Structure 1
Amino acid sequence: MRTALFRSTATLLAAGVATLLPAAAVAAPTPSPGATPVNRAGTSFLTATPITAGQPVRVDASIGDHLYWSFPATAGQVHEINATVTFPKGRSGASTWTVDVFDGLRRRQACTAGAQTPTVDAKASNVVLGCTLREVRSWAEPWSADPLPGTYVVRLSVIELPEPDLGAPIDVDLLVGTIADRGASADDGELAAPLVPNTKAGTVLNAVPPVDADADDESGSLAAWLPDLGSRWVWTGIGGVLAAVAGVVGFAVTRRPRRP
């Protein structure tokens, strides 16, 4: 009786594992067919290289570089970031790496799964990083840090390492995948516009046209030459007149009368 019970339990467990394994394989992000590989990365938020979900990235970099990529996200999507850093040459000590994700307001987003900050020893040939983001909401309270539709920035960097290893060559493979797309959620509102950061630094927005100085000089009106009533020149002149009057009055009061 017990043997039959054990056999039935083992059969159910095996069936459950066989059912879960294909689901896990489907959930893992894979490159999109025909996607053009990206072979460059930005060095700041303003120069982040734009990519799309399913577009593979492979770049050559150096230890100590901060690498940036950006990708769009819409409401209902769940994204997973996988990165692999390969060390062609040996290193002198252990190092700690991290992958951070920021939204359009540069708010750091939390990871629900994945090795976001792994540490590898000097003998390791590579390090694997991962981050699964929360589902993007269509609307959220201003004080919350919930993910909203817009542009997200991925930053890959090393945070702890021996100083002699700085500048050593590395190979970076990165892939952003959409593991779920549930569409718009039943939130209380909807974002008016996606959170897309302004990457055009130095561009003047809503510029006021300059005033022509020659046109002002040619006006010729007397009012244009007179200072305003609240100008310091007006009050300085009034103060000078009052000082002169006070001096004359004081001299007249204090001088001695002449003898006949």
Structure 2
Amino acid sequence: MRITRVLSTALLALGLAAAPAAADSTPSPSASADVKVPVSAGTSFRTAAEIEQGQTATASGSTGDYMYWSFPADAKQRPTVKATLKLPQAHTGQTWQLDVYDGLRRRQACQYGAQTHTAAPGTNSLELACVLRTVRSWAEPWANDPLPGTYYVRLTAVGVKTADLGLPVSAELRVDSKNMGGAAAVDGSLSEPLVPGVSVTKAEDSKASLFSLEPEDGWDSGWWSSRWVWTGVGAILAALAGIGGYALTRGSGRPSRVPPGA
């Protein structure tokens, strides 16, 4: 009977832990309907068009131009950036490239995805994708790990022939994220996310942000993750195992042998 109660308690604890752990692995929520979707792209880092995750932004430009967007990414998210291009009738093949930079303008490597793609002459559309590494809440200063804050997307054609420069092109860009949960948690967090700012001359020394968008639930504090739940469950199970072992080994409470002459 005692063993049954021990197992029942352990299963209940595991069930309670499974809920927040499962929530950590769900995709990021869709963008708010109140945020206006940009219909043009910036021409530099400072003028990058802001988009939320879950939005599909559009832009028109010319072959040879740089197109810039920015989006917020928080700790434990693994962003996926996808771009779809509608190409003009070019004289030669065109090579397009999608680059992603963090708030410090460090180019971030893609885990997988067609980051660079060459379209043959006569191709009408082209798709590019970049799946970033999971954003960490903290990293060593010398590391190039992705950190919470603003991320930039730059889309451009590379090695364009002179005859194709200036041809019209249209693009669609979308960013989605998967929440990697406690498996991606680390000990430590940034004091502030890496959101670029500009100094403002006032009576007080202050700083205004160049970009206003942030995650729907605010920036992650960095200390909570499902790892805390599993650590607590482990401690509970260890205590229950100790109680169960004691119950199994203590017997009926009477001596197993009666001393002679008793």
The TM-score, its normalising length taken from structure 2, stands at 0.62
Read off the aligned partner of 1:110 and give its amino acid letter: A
Calculate percent identity across the aligned residue pairs. Answer: 44
Change (3 A) 1:98 1:57: same
Deviation (angstroms), 1:163: 1.0
For 2:191 and 2:29, locate their aligned partners in 1 and report how far apart those are by CA, in whole Å: 32
**Number of residue pairs matched by the alignment:** 179
| Alpha-carbon distance in structure 2 between the residues aligned to 1:120 and 1:156 | 15
Q: Residue 99 of structure 1 aligns with which residue?
A: 98
Q: Name the SS for the 1:118 alignment partner.
A: strand
Change (3 A) 1:139 1:61: same
Range 70-79 or range 32-41, more displaced: 32-41
Partner of 1:231: none
Say which SS state the counterpart of residue 164 (structure 1) adopts: helix
Task: Normalising by structure 1, report the TM-score.
Answer: 0.63
Residue in 1 aligned with 2:59? Answer: 59
Query: Does the C-alpha gap of structure 1 residues 97 and 86 become closer, same or farther in structure 2, counting only changes over 3 Å?
Result: same
**Cα distance 1:42–1:163, how it changes in 2: closer, same or farther (>3 A)?**
same
**Quick check: 1:31–1:56 contact (8 Å CA) kept in 2?**
no
What residue is the counterpart of 1:155 in the other structure?
154
Q: Distance in 2 between matches of 1:101 and 1:149?
A: 14
Tell me which residue corresponds to 2:47: 47
Match of 2:81 in 1: 81
Give me the CA root mean square deviation.
2.6
Q: Is 1:108 the counterpart of 2:136 in the alignment?
A: no
In structure 1, the gaps of 5 or more residues are: 1-26, 209-260
Deviation per CA, 1:112-170: give whole Å up to 9, x if none.
11100111111211111000001000110100100000110110011122111111011
Q: Which whole-Å CA distance do the structure 2 matches of 1:162 and 1:50 have between them?
A: 31
Q: Distance in 1 between matches of 2:39 and 2:61?
A: 10
Secondary structure, in 3 states, of the residue corresponding to 2:116?
coil
Aligned to 2:68: 68
SS of 2:100's partner is strand
Q: Given that residues 72 and 150 in structure 2 are in contact (C-alpha distance below 8 angstroms), is that contact kept between their aligned partners in structure 1?
A: yes
Q: Distance in 2 between matches of 1:197 and 1:68?
A: 15
Instruction: Answer yes or no: is the 8 Å Cα contact 2:93–2:118 preserved in 1.
Output: yes
Deviation of 1:104 after TM superposition, in Å, equals 0.6
Partner of 1:117: 116
Give 1:92's aligned amino acid: H
d(CA) in 1 for partners of 2:73 and 2:159?
31
Residue equivalent to 1:13: none
Segments of structure 2 that go 5 or more residues without pairing to the other structure are 1-25, 206-262
Residues 194, 158 of structure 1: CA spacing in aligned structure 2 closer, same or farther, 3 A cutoff?
same
Q: 1:174 to 1:91 in 2, by over 3 A?
A: same
Query: Displacement of 1:182 after TM fit?
Result: 2.0
Q: Is the Cα contact below 8 Å between 2:28 and 2:179 reproduced in 1?
A: no
CA distance in 1, matches of 2:203, 2:115: 41
Q: Secondary structure at the match of 2:83?
A: strand
| Mapping 1:231-250, distance limit 5 Å | none
Equivalent AA in structure 2 for residue 134 of structure 1: R
Q: CA deviation at 1:180?
A: 3.0
Does the CA-based 8 Å contact 1:41-1:69 persist in structure 2?
A: yes
Deviation at 1:188, TM superposition (A): 2.8
For 2:164 and 2:176, locate their aligned partners in 1 and report how far apart those are by CA, in whole Å. Answer: 31
Q: Following TM superposition, by how much is the alpha carbon of 1:54 offset from its aligned partner in structure 2, in angstroms?
A: 0.6
